[in-house]
Structure 1
Amino acid sequence: MEDKKNFTISVYSENNIGLLNRISGIFLKRHINIESLNVSKSEIDEVSKFTIVVYTTEDWARKIVGQIEKQIEVIKAYYHTDEETIFQETALFKIASNLLFDERQIQNIIKDNHSTIVTVSPEFFVISKSGRREEIETMYQELKPYGIMQFVRSGRVAVTKTTMQISSILKEFQV
């Protein structure tokens, strides 16, 4: 039996209504949970990039990419292991303002985790932390005893270590 691990699926597509729903349906039918999802502009004008993280086998990742590519708006889809990508997530922590000055340890947590304060108000301050999921989780656990008013984490953003051929594929269509 093949081992499960994280795969980052990159999908380049036209930006059309309903595509996200159809892509998520592909995972739903196979009972594969999406661990992280991010959709953004890509390096190519008018082309969106979906970055989807799943925990599954390579065989299932390959099959899913094949099904995604059958969607008419999809230009190309790829899957990569964590070792083949450079990736990050970003998190925001909202904390009561009095703790910033009353609890010296909070300042140490911010410094030790290479995070930044993005805003301060009389009621709260917001810390931003970018890094791997484990790093964000560590900071969350360190701040939790002090009381986190709000917490949000982005989906994974990733680039591959090797050259992606998507730009040359698109040039062929533009001829």
Structure 2
Amino acid sequence: MDKKRFTISVFTEDVVGILNRVSIIFTRRKINVESIAASESEIKNIYRYTIVITETENQVKKVVGQLEKQVEVVKAVFHTDSEIVHQEIALYKIKTGVLASGGNAEKIVRSHNARVLSVETEFSVIEKTGHKEETQQLFDELQPFGILEFVRSGRVAITKPMKTLSSIVLQLEELVKN
């Protein structure tokens, strides 16, 4: 089987140590986590971990099954890139003089639809939101001008199918009642 990129969404209760237990599942299977983002979900006290890996679908199914065995995991699902809408955010710190000169660096920032978040005396911070390839391309084009600091977030994603976490929770509650 061919490996491809998957986004796994893990919905959990708000308990200390759950992220550690989730990450151990990947470590034991020797699966590299490419990115991870944690946030609140649309349901109070339920948190969402968005995890990106490149693996076979069979291996992903096993991992999701193992994740769902964790007591505090409400639901775990996986999707291919075509089944989600996703973005990352990147921040770039460069010398203010490079931007202020009105040269190529400023044109590059504008051509990528990036925005300037902060202008300080010695440095400026630029923000670019997009797919990893887009934020990497801006990095590559700004690198000759001297990037002082760079950071990229993990992927945040929303599924295209209309099944919501709320409907999944309702289904689970019905199963428990019966």
Residue 99 of structure 2 corresponds to residue 95 of structure 1? no
Identity of aligned residues (%): 46
Which residue in the other structure is 2:85 paired with? 86
5+ residue gaps, structure 2: none
Which residue in the other structure is 2:107 paired with? 108
Tell me which amino acid in the other structure corresponds to 2:106.
Q
Q: TM-score, normalization: structure 2?
A: 0.94
Task: Please provide the CA RMSD for this pair.
Answer: 1.3
Which residue in the other structure is 1:148 paired with? 147
5+ residue gaps, structure 1: none
Which residue in the other structure is 2:159 paired with? 160
> How far apart in 2 are the matches of 1:40 and 1:66?
22
Which residue in the other structure is 1:14 paired with? 13
Tell me which amino acid in the other structure corresponds to 1:108.
K
The 4+ residue runs of structure 1 with deviation greater than 3 A are 171-175
Instruction: State the Cα deviation string for residues 90-115 of structure 1 (Å, max 9, x = none).
Output: 00000011111225111111111011
> How far apart in 2 are the matches of 1:142 and 1:110?
9
Q: TM-score, normalization: structure 1?
A: 0.96
Which residue in the other structure is 1:55 paired with? 54
Deviation at 1:72, TM superposition (A): 0.5
> How far apart in 2 are the matches of 1:160 and 1:68?
19
> How far apart in 1 are the matches of 2:99 and 2:164?
47
State the aligned residue count.
174
Aligned with 2:30: secondary structure?
A: coil
Instruction: State the Cα deviation string for residues 80-99 of structure 1 (Å, max 9, x = none).
Output: 00011110000000001111
Which residue in the other structure is 2:134 paired with? 135
Instruction: State the Cα deviation string for residues 127-167 of structure 1 (Å, max 9, x = none).
Output: 00000000011000000011111100000000011012420
